[in-house]
Amino acid sequence: MLAATGLTKEYRRGGGRRVAFNAVDGVDLTVAKGEIVSVVGRSGSGKSTLLNMLTGLLRPTAGAVLFDGQDIWGWRDAEISRWRNTKIGYMPQGQSLLANLNVLDNVRLPFFLARRDGEITAKALARLAQVGIAHLAANFPAELSGGEARRVALARALINAPELLIADEPTGDLDLATTNEIMKLFAQIVGDGTAVLLVTHEAEAVISPTGARIYEMTGGKLAGRDKKVMRTH
Amino acid sequence: MAEKQLTAWRLAGENLRRQPLRVVCLTAVAAILASALFGGAIFTTGIQTGLDVLAARFGADLMVVPTGNAQKAEAVLLGGEPNYFYFNGEIARKIAPTPGVRQVSPQFFLTSLSADCCDLPVQLIAFEPETDFVVKPWLTALPAQGLRDGQIAIGCDILARENRTVKLFGREYPVAAQIGKTATGLDRSVLMNMSTIRTLIDHAHQEKLHFLADDEPAGAISAVLVRLDGTRPPATVAREIRRENPNVEVVVAQGVVQQIGQALRRLKGQVFAVLVALWVVAATVLTAVYSGSVNERKKEFSVLRLLGATRAKVAGIVLGEAFLTASSGGLIGVVLAALAVFPFSTYIGDRLQLPYIPPAAAYIFGMALFSLALVALAGLLAAAYAAWKIGRAETYLTMRAGE
Ligand SMILES: Nc1ncnc2c1ncn2[C@@H]1O[C@H](COP(=O)(O)OP(=O)(O)OP(=O)(O)O)[C@@H](O)[C@H]1O
Ligand SMILES: [Mg+2]
């Protein structure tokens, strides 16, 4: 479904002399339908940069991203936005809820970002129930705990029933018990037929959902890791 | 039940609702812009109209008055204090043959504090029907013979009683006509012919009222209004009249209108300068605020992009917020300016010694719409730079930990 080849992003840093370096360096990666893929890497290894290129937000210096065989970087902004809105569910790194909207509106938001017909409120409430926070629908993001906010972001990513869910360190700053619960939700989502691309720290990786295919990222380079996750939930 | 849609408008509105301080500031800037524009335009247009009416209505080229009374005479014309002053009626006959003079007509002034029609003193002006060329054009509503003996015509600020009379020095006089607004002294004047004012003075004497004019020899007048034939410049004729008649002063009407015209131009220049300064400052402030808020809200906009909003949609939210604040601020500004200009403009005009006539309703309405549109446009333009920055999305879309 999703295939990246030779994906590279070059950045320049360091005041006057501007040294060029590759934050992402010749990455090949595939995600098949209904599969769960996990990318593990230390902070600064280029994980978020990779995800931004995979989702058409950040233009690669080199390489291609294909979705169902089509080069997404050949599309216009309207097409790429529409694709991101319908086929991809994205859980960004960190706190990403819109502070000015309540939980229900945050979840409904992606539905309204493209032209659509139909009712959404009932679906949004069902998604909130699925992630276990139906009672918080009327709250504002500032009133939520970190774990609750992640659940809202997850419900929001799922609202348009995407084919691929992408999560950038979805449990980055959560305690172990909460991390466990969220990972269970991912396992359940994969069970429903949605592919999941999960980006995690080393620490989180230990508790990646069962059956995940794992890549390891170091200094912008991606390598497959043969050992499957041992632990089950 | 219909769902409340999360349109770009609603998102913009929701953002504004949760940022009251920013909204108050942006709205206030827009309100100041709109009120200055609208108020300034209405006020200067009102004075322009007043000046036009004055120039058109004041049919005399020169006004000859006793020495030392030129300013008082101008006050009578422009709506300052009512006044009276007298000289010998013979003057009119002496002026008539001066080269360049086509017609002369004497007038007689009196003031009345006792008229029950009004709070302010009233200027009584008597004219000579046989020679008059100044008053008649104002009384177009009257039959050809003009005001008959005993009748009066009143300025627009004077209130007639219910039986269409005005009581002066204890007697009622029938009102034959009321003159439209001129924004000059005429608005607070009562007009009548010479024989009516003699009757009025006689009646007043019976009521034991006395006037300064009582000491004057019979046939005294206050002013001689002069129409020129255009063969010689007004200033030249005025100089000659002054030379031939040592005890007179001459007010040149053109000069008065010109003076007001100059004052108006100065006022317009000041209003314009204030407007330009305000707009430059406001444009800078608005642009800075909007583009600053884009930096501040990078995260919010990148989240919208992540969820599948097009660049156009995100820009639309920013522009929507700008439009909402600018147009609501503009509306507030127009209303505030209207509240300031309409009740007080006549008073301000008086203080500036400038005639003010409120512009027509259609003009006011059009100007209100224009001010609103311009302020809304300014808001949009100021936000356009911010929206453009969002268009170059790549520069900030990488979301990193800690941001
Ligand atoms: N816009 C940019 N300009 C220059 N360098 C950048 C830019 N964005 C990211 N980088 C650098 O690229 C590298 C990879 O960043 P990235 O955010 O992808 O790391 P990450 O693996 O997601 O880290 P974390 O786990 O902390 O989120 C880092 O060294 C970062 O400093
Ligand atoms: Mg990251």
- Which residue is closest in CA terms to ligand 1's atom 18? A46
Which H or E element spans position A233?
none
The answer to whether residue B190 sits within a structural domain is yes
Give the Cα-Cα-Cα angle B66, B70, B72 (nearest 5 degrees).
100
Calculate how far, in angstroms, residue A220's C-alpha sits from the geometric centre of ligand 1. 10
Question: Is B288 in the same domain as B198?
Answer: no
Distance CA(B127)–CA(B225), nearest Å, equals 10
Residue of B nearest to A53 (CA): B398
State whether residue A201 is helix, strand or coil: coil
Q: Where are the alpha helices (DSSP H) in A131-196?
A: 146-158, 176-191
Question: Is B288 in the same domain as B382?
Answer: yes
What does the pLDDT read at residue B47?
Answer: 82
What does the pLDDT read at residue A233?
Answer: 39
Q: Would you state the structure tokens that stand for residue A18, as one six-digit string?
A: 């501007």
Distance CA(B324)–CA(B157), nearest Å, equals 43
Q: DSSP state, A192?
A: T
Question: Is B165 in the same domain as B222?
Answer: yes
Ligand 1 atom closest to the CA of B395, numbered from 1? 1
Distance CA(B19)–CA(B24), nearest Å, equals 9
State whether residue A108 is helix, strand or coil: helix
> Which of B218, B246, B274 is the last residue before a domain boundary?
B246
Average pLDDT over residues B315-337: 90
Domains of chain A: 31-54+88-228 (3.40.50.300)
Question: Is B32 in the same domain as B110?
Answer: no
Centroid of chain to Cα A4: 16
User: Is 70 exceeded by the pLDDT of residue B79?
Assistant: no
What does the pLDDT read at residue A125?
Answer: 94
Nearest CA among B257, B317, B329 for reference residue B33: B329
Question: Is B231 in the same domain as B90?
Answer: yes
> Which of B246, B272, B305 is the last residue before a domain boundary?
B246
Name the β-bridge partners of A5: A64
The answer to whether residue B269 sits within a structural domain is yes
Nearest by CB to residue B310, choosing from A77, A100, A109, is A77
pLDDT band at A232 (very low <50, low <70, confident <90, very high): very low
Share of chain A above pLDDT 90, in %: 55
Question: Is B197 in the same domain as B270?
Answer: no
Task: Please judge whether A96 and B399 are an interchain contact, meaning their C-beta atoms are less than 8 angstroms apart.
Answer: yes
A55 lines ligand 1 (CB under 6 A): no
Average pLDDT over residues B274-282: 86
What does the pLDDT read at residue B117?
Answer: 55
A chain contacts of residue B399, beta-carbon cutoff 8 Å: 48, 52, 92-94, 96, 168
CB atoms within 10 A of CB B381: 16
Q: Position of tokens 């390598």?
A: A223
Most confidently modeled range among A11-15, A122-126, B161-165, B210-214 = A122-126
CA distances from A21 to A14, A215, B233 (A): 11, 22, 87
pLDDT per residue over B220-244, tens digit each?
A: 899 999 999 889 998 999 999 999 9
Residues of A with CB under 8 A from a CB of B: 43, 48-49, 52, 55, 57-59, 77-78, 81-86, 88, 90, 92-94, 96-101, 105, 108-114, 119-121, 156, 168-169, 172
- Which residue is closest in CA terms to ligand 1's atom 16? A46
B401 lines ligand 1 (CB under 6 A): yes
Distance CA(B51)–CA(B32), nearest Å, equals 28
CA dihedral angle for residue B349, residue B354, residue B355, residue B358, rounded to 10 degrees: -40
Of the listed ranges A57-61, B58-62, B131-135, the one predicted with least confidence: B58-62
Average pLDDT over residues B360-383: 90
3-state secondary structure chain B: CCCCCCCHHHHHHHHHHCCHHHHHHHHHHHHHHHHHHHHHHHHHHHHHHHHHHHHHHCCCCEEEEECCCHHHHHHHHHCCCCCCCCECCHHHHHHCCCCCEEEEEEEEEEEECCCCCCCCCEEEEEECCCCCCCCHHHHCCCCCCCCCCCCEEECCCCCCCCCCEEEECCEEEEEEEECCCCCCHHHHEEEEEHHHHHHHHHHHHHCCCCCHHHHCCCCCECEEEEEECCCCCHHHHHHHHHHHCCCEEEEEHHHHHHHHHHHHHHHHHHHHHHHHHHHHHHHHHHHHHHHHHHHHCHHHHHHHHHCCCCHHHHHHHHHHHHHHHHHHHHHHHHHHHHHHHHHHHHHHHHHCCCCCCCCCHHHHHHHHHHHHHHHHHHHHHHHHHHHHHHHCHHHCCCCCCCC
User: Is 70 exceeded by the pLDDT of residue A17?
Assistant: no
Question: Is B242 in the same domain as B265?
Answer: no
Question: Is B288 in the same domain as B228?
Answer: no
The answer to whether residue B183 sits within a structural domain is yes
Question: Is B98 in the same domain as B236?
Answer: yes
What does the pLDDT read at residue A63?
Answer: 94
Distance CA(B372)–CA(B89), nearest Å, equals 58
pLDDT band at A231 (very low <50, low <70, confident <90, very high): very low
Most confidently modeled range among A137-146, A166-175, B247-256, B314-323 = A137-146
The answer to whether residue B59 sits within a structural domain is no
Residue B141's identity, in one-letter code, is A
What does the pLDDT read at residue B114?
Answer: 56
The answer to whether residue B268 sits within a structural domain is yes
Average pLDDT over residues B69-79: 79
Compute the nearest-CA separation of A223 from chain B (Å).
Answer: 22
Q: DSSP state, A163?
A: S
- Which residue is closest in CA terms to ligand 1's atom 14? A46
Residue A26's identity, in one-letter code, is G
pLDDT per residue over A199-225, tens digit each?
A: 987 655 555 666 778 888 998 898 876
Tell me which ligand sits closest to the C-alpha of residue A42: 1
- Which residue is closest in CA terms to ligand 1's atom 4? A11
Task: Please judge whether A109 and B19 are an interchain contact, meaning their C-beta atoms are less than 8 angstroms apart.
Answer: no
Question: Is B102 in the same domain as B36?
Answer: no
Of the listed ranges A92-96, B177-181, B253-257, the one predicted with least confidence: B253-257
Compute the nearest-CA separation of B398 from chain A (Å).
Answer: 6
Compute the nearest-CA separation of B37 from chain A (Å).
Answer: 34
CB atoms within 10 A of CB B286: 26
State whether residue A19 is helix, strand or coil: strand
> Which of B246, B273, B303 is the last residue before a domain boundary?
B246
Question: Is B193 in the same domain as B224?
Answer: yes
User: Is 60 exceeded by the pLDDT of residue B119?
Assistant: no
Contact criterion met (CB below 8 Å) for B171 and B203: yes
Calculate how far, in angstroms, residue B303's C-alpha sits from the geometric centre of ligand 2. 14
CA distances from B266 to B173, B271, B273, B352, B359 (A): 43, 9, 10, 12, 20
Ligand 1 atom closest to the CA of A52, numbered from 1? 18
Mean pLDDT, chain A, as a whole number? 87
Q: Position of tokens 């300025």?
A: B155
User: Is 70 exceeded by the pLDDT of residue B373?
Assistant: yes
pLDDT per residue over A169-196, tens digit each?
A: 888 778 888 888 888 888 888 888 899 9
User: Is 70 exceeded by the pLDDT of residue B255?
Assistant: yes
User: Is 70 exceeded by the pLDDT of residue B158?
Assistant: yes
What does the pLDDT read at residue A208?
Answer: 60
Distance CA(B94)–CA(B160), nearest Å, equals 39
Beta-sheet strand order (sheet of A164-168) = A88-91, A164-168, A195-200, A36-41, A213-218, A221-224
Question: Is B242 in the same domain as B355?
Answer: no
Distance CA(B257)–CA(B261), nearest Å, equals 6
Calculate how far, in angstroms, residue A41's C-alpha sits from the geometric centre of ligand 2. 9
CA dihedral angle for residue B38, residue B44, residue B46, residue B50, rounded to 10 degrees: 180
Average pLDDT over residues B2-24: 78
Average pLDDT over residues B57-73: 84
Compute the nearest-CA separation of A152 from chain B (Å).
Answer: 13
Average pLDDT over residues A112-123: 86
Q: Look at strands B122-127 and B189-193 and give their pairing.
A: parallel
Mean pLDDT, chain B, as a whole number? 82
Average pLDDT over residues A79-107: 92
pTM of the model: 0.70
A23 lines ligand 1 (CB under 6 A): yes
The answer to whether residue B154 sits within a structural domain is yes
- Which residue is closest in CA terms to ligand 1's atom 5? A11
The total number of structural domains in chain B stands at 2
What does the pLDDT read at residue A205?
Answer: 52
For an interface test with A, the pick among B1, B3, B6, B307 (most A C-beta atoms closer than 10 Å) comes out as: B307
The answer to whether residue B3 sits within a structural domain is no
What does the pLDDT read at residue B403?
Answer: 40
User: Is 70 exceeded by the pLDDT of residue B400?
Assistant: no
What does the pLDDT read at residue B210?
Answer: 74
The answer to whether residue B124 sits within a structural domain is yes
User: Is 70 exceeded by the pLDDT of residue A16?
Assistant: no
B394 lines ligand 1 (CB under 6 A): no
Average pLDDT over residues B94-108: 92
User: Is 70 exceeded by the pLDDT of residue B401?
Assistant: no
Share of chain B above pLDDT 90, in %: 19
Distance CA(B102)–CA(B230), nearest Å, equals 9
B145 lines ligand 1 (CB under 6 A): no
Contact criterion met (CB below 8 Å) for B203 and B170: yes
Most confidently modeled range among A11-20, B135-144, B184-193 = B184-193
Nearest CA among A179, A178, A187, A224 for reference residue A206: A179
Which H or E element spans position A194?
none
Q: Provide the domain limits for residue B116.
A: 68-246
